[in-house]
Amino acid sequence: MLSEEEKQVKSYPEAATTSSVEIQNWIEAQDLLKKKLIKEDEFEGDSLKYVGGVDISFLKEDSSVACGTLVVLNLQTLQVVYEDFSLVTVQVPYVPGFLAFREAPVLLELLERMKKRDPHLYPQLLLVDGNGILHPRGFGLASHLGVLANLPTIGIGKNLHHVDGLTHSGVRRLLSESKNNDSVVTLRGTSGCIWGVAMRSTVDSLKPIYISIGHRVSLDTAIRIVKSTCKFRVPEPIRQADIRSREYLRKFQMGMSKRETS
DNA sequence: GCGACAG
DNA sequence: ATCTTGTCGC
């Protein structure tokens, strides 16, 4: 006969690796960093020339092997002017609401490396694959990264993180009910808080992306900038980071299998 | 109690 | 996140 404790471990394997104590530490860290969060424009919009994008891909065979990627694009031409990769092993599991503790370390390392290596192209603003304040405690990966790197950031979600009564079907309803032909709807939660917007980023994409303030950027500015980078549904900086990240892992895997075969 | 839950 | 080619349409 299993004890109640054993039943829990067997039913929820992730609970064995992420203790409630660790979660509490994470919550405290988020609440502490959140005090430094700035939700208004705090950068020179005129000098906005380079926009960064970050993403992480994981190996299918060994999901602890990951490739963090930083790209920088010229905002005018949307051409990639810088790219860098970091192959790492990630032990921290994915826990909804705590993505930053899994992904931020690699991305911060890439930003630091670039600041030393190529400060001339260092981005004035960063688009992050993950939410900003659209988060259970108002402090998602984009905000986390922005505060730690002291860099203006915008959060981009490809799926809705259910917060404050916001639901997938609710957003669909908002978009279909939108008065004119507006592709952008405000995400106002049950509490009255505004968490960000859902936006159909191209004319033919039914599925929206979710934009939220990361750090040192207002929501209106965030929307404007994201719009200007959307050749496809996913904003180009993030899309390029994603594409190149996967390509890097694919080539890495080819090198690995070559070694096994010989 | 049940389901939902960024990447 | 990851699995994954062809295929439908402009």
CA dihedral over A203, A235, A231, A125, signed as positive or negative:
positive
pLDDT at A8: 41
Q: Is the pLDDT of residue A16 over 50?
A: no
Pair A81, A121: CB distance under 8 Å: yes
pLDDT at A177: 82
Its pTM stands at 0.91
Question: Which residue ranges make up each domain of chain A?
Answer: 4-261
Instruction: List, for residues A46-99, the tens digit of each pLDDT value.
Output: 789 999 999 999 999 999 999 999 999 999 999 999 999 999 999 999 999 999
Q: Is the pLDDT of residue A44 over 90?
A: no
pLDDT at A9: 43
Asked whether residue A160, judged by its CB, lies under 7 Å from any atom of the DNA or RNA strand B, the reply is: yes
Residue-by-residue DSSP string for A187-217: EE-TTS-EEEEEE--STT--S-EEEEEEES-
Give which of A209, A197, A195 is closest to A163, Cα–Cα: A195
Asked whether residue A254, judged by its CB, lies under 7 Å from any atom of the DNA or RNA strand C, the reply is: no
Higher model confidence: residue A262 or residue A182?
A182
Distance A94 CA to C1 C1' (A): 9
Domain A4-261: assigned CATH number: 3.30.2170.10
What average pLDDT does the segment A238-248 reach?
A: 96
